[in-house]
Structure 1
Amino acid sequence: MFDSITILAMAGLIGLGIVALTVLTLWQGWLRLKLTELERHPDRHSDRHRADPDHPLGITRIEMADVKERLRKLEAIAAGVDL
């Protein structure tokens, strides 16, 4: 009725399905864990502490604003303007 190649192919497909289902379940569990972490500590994951992905050094937005303000002050000093 079934030759050995057909049985082997069916077993492989069933095994692949089991592995795919297991990986999907693990992925959903990991996402649930990360969501729980975000809900427990929302201040740790706020936007102001997140590094700027466009900046090559990964400087946070607050640090970048601080550097820009210092640069403005130095430029004003160099131009002879009193702050």
Structure 2
Amino acid sequence: MSFSSDNPSGTEPQGDSPYGGALADAAWQVLLTSGVAAFAWGVFELEWPGAPLILVGVLFGIHLLAGGVFPLAGARAGEGGGS
């Protein structure tokens, strides 16, 4: 049973939903990539138990460097512009 107040005039869905399109296409790719990376990490961990700890340390160091360098570069680039 449908009432006229269920779908007021002007609120009918138009085209794709806001959750579809490019966002939905990218979401499954991110999930697939994450799953493949997790599987590869597990195989790597089983084959060479000590190596992943070193790799995590190196990746964390790169993350810290990038987290410090990029904001400094952005602040430096923003110095000259102004008035």
Provide TM-score, normalisation by structure 1.
0.39
Flag the structure with larger Rg.
1
Provide TM-score, normalisation by structure 2.
0.39
